[in-house]
A and B are shown apart, each in its own frame.
Chain A
Amino acid sequence: MATTSSISTVKSAWWEPRIDRAVLKGLMGRSDWPGLYFLGMWVGLLLVTGLAIHVSRGTWWVVPAVIAYGVVLGFAYAPSHECAHGTAFRTRWLNEAVLWISSFVWGESPTHRRFAHSHHHTYTWHWKLDAQMGYSNPVSLRTYLGDVIGLVEFLPRLKLTLRHARGRILERERVYLPDTQVPTLVREARILLTGYLALLAWAVIGQTWVPLLYFFIPRFAGAFGVFLFITTQHMAMNQNVYDHRQSSRSMTNSWLSRLLYWNMNYHIEHHLYPSVPFHALPALNAAIRDQLPEPSPSLLAAHLEILRTIAAQRRDPTAFAHHPLPGAPSAPPSGTGS
């Protein structure tokens, strides 16, 4: 028996921490209960904020209620993302069912979600390779604001789904989408659109505001909530490097944020080991913390760092947010960084 470390793989290009195989295997363990807990809390928050919409109808209080509900609804991102990895639940049908429901709310077909996101993990923020990163360093303030507000969110993805429902797949999509998956993708896009149209038909035929007040309007009005978090994952970090510690940003978040975001604030850790489920990411962090940069201390600190870097990039387009690695000098090697 021999090892063949010389074999080049998509994973071997990336920096990996030292971690015992038995420890890692333990962290990769699957269970239904953490996912059910996080999902249950999300549904509970939807019920509470949904009730707030119900009791405030006819008053101006309905505006903040719809926004609050929309913020919670937008975090459909989290179960959709985790289920796309297939790590949310041990039970496969449960994983697939939650993937479908959360992806419907999120606005992206399960197959596109999976394949585009796989590509993102292979080429994390490698410009023109990463299928999910639509911008590059230097980042403009307009790009930042568009991302945070969620302008890159539901409508563009709805257009994408419309195109897929018509069977039109772009060349750049075929890079990550095998031909064998195209019929599935088209079928799923049509199912999603049928669902959205059914909700609209309910509103028109039933002469009711319910689908608008509890789905379409809050999806737009509250999109900024989850995007405040998603924006911090890679923006203004170093790009085109094979080290997730430099191209991804972890941050310290509150209990409620971690609950809604399914622990994706441990973003470096998630990219290092996508097979480790969301609920084990704090334990993974504890196991390899000595090899990671310090996380951003808060959501606000992460955004201030992004804004500082955007300002620095106006003077020096090669600047990026530099997170010193353990044992490395605190200044970036070539005078870049902010």
Chain B
Amino acid sequence: MWVKLCPVDHVPDDDVVEVSCDGKLYCAYRIAGQHYVTDGLCTHQVARLAEGYVLDDIIECPMHNGRFHIPTGRVEGPPACEPLRTYRVRVEQGELEIWIDAA
């Protein structure tokens, strides 16, 4: 099902913002005009990725510099080893929405 995450204008250009939805953290990005959403916590150790650094389409963890490819969640640099979960996104009436599989 599609779940509203935040107003689309809350997402900065070429950067990341942290969003909480139903007690879970997400990272919302707008990279070169495209919207992306990933999980908000690093898969290496629990750290908030939104405090990290966005370089092109890579998000770097603020704690240990593990790197992930934002569009796919692929690991781009250690010490991260597990990929980051990514979500399908759409913009509806100014809201950024993500697809979450029904439990």
Contact = CB atoms under 8 A, between A and B. Distances in A.
B20 A122 contact: no
A180 B15 CA distance: 31
Given A4-B23, A181-B78, A121 B64 contact: yes
Interface residues of A, number: 30
Given A3-B18, A180-B81, A274 B64 contact: yes
Interface stretch (A8-16, A33-41, A62-70, A218-226): A8-16
B53 A28 contact: yes
B102 interface: no
Given A1-B6, A1-B19, A274 B65 contact: yes
Contacts of A118: 44-45, 63-64, 79
Contacts of B46: 8-10
Given A1-B10, A121-B64, 20 more contacts: A1-B6, A1-B17, A2-B20, A4-B25, A7-B48, A9-B48, A10-B47, A10-B63, A11-B47, A11-B48, A11-B62, A86-B77, A92-B77, A118-B44, A118-B64, A118-B79, A121-B63, A274-B65, A275-B61, A275-B62
Interface string B28-67: 0000000000000100111110011101000011111101
A118 B61 CA distance: 11
A240 B14 CA distance: 38
A115 B7 contact: no
A269 B17 CA distance: 24
11 contacts: A4-B20, A7-B25, A7-B41, A8-B46, A9-B63, A11-B47, A11-B62, A30-B55, A90-B55, A92-B77, A275-B52
Nearest to B77: A86
Contact of B81 (A7, A28, A87, A178): A178
Contacts of A274: 62-65
Interface of B: 5-7, 10, 15, 17-20, 23, 25, 41, 44-48, 51-53, 55, 60-65, 67, 77-79, 81
Contacts, number: 75
Interface string A91-120: 010000000000000000001001100100
Interface in A249-287: 273-275
A275 B65 contact: yes
A108 to B, nearest CB: 14
Interface string A156-190: 00000000000000000000001011000000000
A interface, over-half SS:
loop
Contact of A10 (B45, B65, B78): B45
Contacts of B7: 1
A25 interface: yes
- In order of increasing CB-CB distance, the 7 nearest A-B pairs are A1-B6, A118-B64, A28-B53, A4-B20, A118-B79, A2-B20, A9-B46
A322 interface: no
A30 B77 CA distance: 15
Contacts of A181: 78, 81
A85 interface: yes
A312 B44 CA distance: 40
Contacts of A9: 41, 46-48, 63
A274 B60 CA distance: 11
A13 B36 CA distance: 29
